[in-house]
Chain A
Amino acid sequence: NAGVTQTPKFRVLKTGQSMTLLCAQDMNHEYMYWYRQDPGMGLRLIHYSVGEGTTAKGEVPDGYNVSRLKKQNFLLGLESAAPSQTSVYFCASRTGNTGELFFGEGSRLTVL
């Protein structure tokens, strides 16, 4: 089992460019999440989904959009990248209301 897979692993963007991060999970989990990790800030929730076709805002949703068209995939989009979005992004999934989060390996994004 691959678990949670994120692509790409690294990306460099110029300010104003757009991009999409893809998260795929093969565990048939209902819930999927996008977090960002910044120095001294821990993991902060951007958006999450409780099932196919649903999305909801987390703690820091501004500047990001998400889509969950298929149960196994959760896409994170940056419409117009800003240097403040330079971060490491983690996708996670879990099953049901209980249970821990399973994380991907992370995607490092640099916005110049």
Chain B
Amino acid sequence: DQQVKQNSPSLSVQEGRISILNCDYTNSMFDYFLWYKKYPAEGPTFLISISSIKDKNEDGRFTVFLNKSAKHLSLHIVPSQPGDSAVYFCAASRVHTGNQFYFGTGTSLTVIP
């Protein structure tokens, strides 16, 4: 059973606008969440993370929001750039008791110039 879900397989956004990628999880024990970006023929690269003690984390154009009660997190990219076109995976883990990272199925973002 998929513990981390990304229900939107794809998203298209105009350059300069905001991109919002969503992720839901089912296991309330997860306490560490990450977003990865993947270009074709490359390995995923780490983008941003958030601990469950926070509800927001920012890094430049990227902001991750966590809603623990809804078991939902989102990644906001503002402003979106053509170079942001990639597949984005969210992942979840239990920091102190688990060694496994559970990944969603990914959302393919296309930023249109």
Chain A contacts to B: CB under 8 angstroms: 4, 31, 33, 35, 40-45, 48, 50, 56, 58-59, 90, 92, 97-98, 100-106
Chain B nearest Cβ from A25, distance in angstroms: 12
- Contact A101 B46, beta carbon cutoff 8 Å: yes
Q: How far is the CA of A106 from the CA of B96 in the complex (A)?
A: 28
Residue of B41, B49, B99, B105 near A100 (CB, 8 A) is: B49
- Contact A31 B99, beta carbon cutoff 8 Å: yes
Residue of B6, B36, B49, B100 near A45 (CB, 8 A) is: B100
Size of B's binding interface in residues, CB under 8 A: 26
Residue interface bits B44-78, CB-to-A below 8 A is 1, else 0: 11100100000000000000000000000000000
- Contact A100 B46, beta carbon cutoff 8 Å: yes
Q: How far is the CA of A58 from the CA of B93 in the complex (A)?
A: 13
Q: How far is the CA of A3 from the CA of B6 in the complex (A)?
A: 28
Known A31-B99, A50-B99; judge A41-B105 contact (CB<8 A): yes
Q: How far is the CA of A103 from the CA of B101 in the complex (A)?
A: 13
- Contact A40 B105, beta carbon cutoff 8 Å: yes
Q: Which chain B residue has the least Cβ–Cβ distance from A48? A: B99
Residue of B44, B91, B104, B106 near A90 (CB, 8 A) is: B44
- Contact A105 B101, beta carbon cutoff 8 Å: no
Q: How far is the CA of A100 from the CA of B9 in the complex (A)?
A: 24
Chain B nearest Cβ from A32, distance in angstroms: 10
Known A42-B104, A42-B106; judge A103-B44 contact (CB<8 A): yes
Q: How far is the CA of A101 from the CA of B47 in the complex (A)?
A: 11
14 other contacts beyond A42-B4, A42-B89, A44-B103, with CB at 8 A cut-off?
A31-B99, A35-B103, A42-B2, A42-B103, A42-B106, A43-B44, A50-B99, A98-B32, A100-B49, A101-B34, A101-B46, A101-B91, A103-B36, A106-B42
